[in-house]
Amino acid sequence: MTKLLIADRDNKERTGLEWLARSHPLPFEKILLAENPPQLLLTLEQQTPDIVCLELDGIPPEHWEEVKQAIKRFSKAVIAITAEATFERAEQAISLGATDLWTKPLDPTRIPRVLGRLCRELTLNSTGDPLSLISATTSYPSLFLDLDTETRGGEHLLFLIQPEKIERLPTLISYLEQHPFHQPPQILPLDDAVACLFPNRPDTTESLLRQQGYRLLDTWSEHTGDGLTVVIHFPDPSLSLRQQYLTARKALQWRFYRGTRQVIPLTAPVRWQPLDPFLTPEEQQEWIHMLERGDREALGDWMHQEFLRIDPPFPDPSLLRTRLTSLLAQIRRYMQGRELDKQPVLEERYHRIFDSILHGPVLYRIVQDLLLFIEALFESVAEEKHIATDPARQALQFIHDHYADPRLNLETIAQHVHRNASYLSHLLSRTHGKPFRELLAEIRLKQARRLLEDTNLPITEVATQTGFCNANYFSRLFKQRTTTSPRAYRDQKRGKKDKTRTLSV
């Protein structure tokens, strides 16, 4: 494994670089930090790091030669960092033999790319020439059946590779056939992954296998923009190839916790941590209270503590999916209690979340989607509360609910919304651009047009059902607003429907 030393005066820069190195699939055994020349010199001598990221601006002139000699003596590669894009700094980088010069502010996309390339180059230099070509002697039965001694795991290396998007599997198979492995593997496509079998050679080292895995991950990402999960099962004479495959298949589920851009070396069986997936009564009550209060912070802390701070050994992913559905049941009850399930957008989103919990490949994405969904529910509840406190919107809703009542008047509505009638009249006029009587008539006539089009009710019954006591007044007002009588309107609409039906036939 490779050691990385980050030497920078700025603590934020040091920790930022360390975080970038740790958050990417880079094969660093140790990441060391130094903030001044004495620390740098001591760490170089005691730890002999492979790669040094050195801030040039932090080395005083009196220490320059000593630092330069120590880096050349105790490290294999150096990357120079500076906030001053000057010729002098470039000369210093050249004198160090730096492989790259980074100028602050640093580019976070460039850093892991350069570090990954250096790790691969150092691994290649330590392993010597590529492995020779071999011919495959195994096939699908070796993975699915315990056969004879020819398929013992000590004779083969197994890479089990799964793309981030399963629909990319055909592309991955073609890509693997062209990929410059140290030796061409036997490629065995599966339903959702690809098994690659290599012979176990004496000169095959663990670092070489890791290097091949990271190289494959990096080049695939450059080629497609997607991630890969690469499980490497090291040779084990005590296991059949099928047993190795089953172990690797189990380890493939680690991507649920680690993400879809991972190289997972296996040297021991995969064991899951026991977990009771169901919420306790106390946890159920806690969730009910957090949802009722709309406590976003408490919910976020609970979810992060429960799902995103899990250390190995991990629980079986199926148990966490069950636990997430148990949480979703609490959220469902919250939705139904506030009739949020009657909102099509939220209902559709709920079903998408449910599908994500059952089939989503990565835990942190599921948790993020669930928290965003809860936030959307809280926003919808807040909007409903706002509507409930808006007298104009309350009044309009009351009119829609009671337009068929011929006794409906402004005073009744004003009492319902707890406002003065004259104030409500002014508010409705300002909000909707028309006085109360005209607004009421418009809503009633709209419902009347619907009944005329969709039913065979007599005109007098249409008038009654839409709040008009007098059918003659209804007909006169209808003609005034639509330029046609109710009967002529019905005949006209039905004539258009009959004509459309005839043309379609």
DSSP string, 248-277: HHHHGGGHHHH-SSEEEEESS---PBP---
Topology of domain 140-266, CATH: Alpha-Beta Plaits (3.30.70)
Q: What is the architecture of the domain spanning 391-504?
A: Orthogonal Bundle (1.10)
- The CA radius of gyration of the chain, in Å to the nearest whole number, is 35
pLDDT in tens, 11-69: 999 999 999 888 887 888 899 999 999 999 999 999 999 999 999 999 999 999 999 99
The predicted structure's pLDDT at residue 147: 54
Other CB atoms within 10 Å distance of the CB of residue 498 = 10
Domain 2-127 CATH assignment equals 3.40.50.2300: yes
Output the six-digit token pair for 90: 């470039």
Rounded to the nearest 5 degrees, what angle is found at the Cα of 143, between the Cα atoms of 138 and 146? 95
**Is 309 strand, coil or helix?**
coil
pLDDT above 70 coverage of the chain, percent? 91
120-124, 133-137, 253-257, 400-404: least confident range? 133-137
Find all residues with CB under 8 Å of 274, minimum gap 6, and list them.
315
**Domain locations along the chain:** 2-127, 140-266, 281-387, 391-504
Question: Mean pLDDT, to the nearest integer, of 439-451?
Answer: 94
Confidence of residue 345 (pLDDT cuts 50, 70, 90): very high
CA-based max dimension of the chain = 106
pTM of the model: 0.52
Residue 129 has pLDDT above 60, yes or no: no
pLDDT in tens, 349-384: 999 999 999 999 999 999 999 999 999 999 998 877
Q: Quick check: 203 and 115 in contact, CB under 8 A? A: no
The predicted structure's pLDDT at residue 499: 54
Q: Which residue has the higher pLDDT, 153 or 466?
A: 466
Check if 2-127 and 140-266 are the same fold.
no
Find all residues with CB under 8 Å of 281, minimum gap 6, and list them.
none
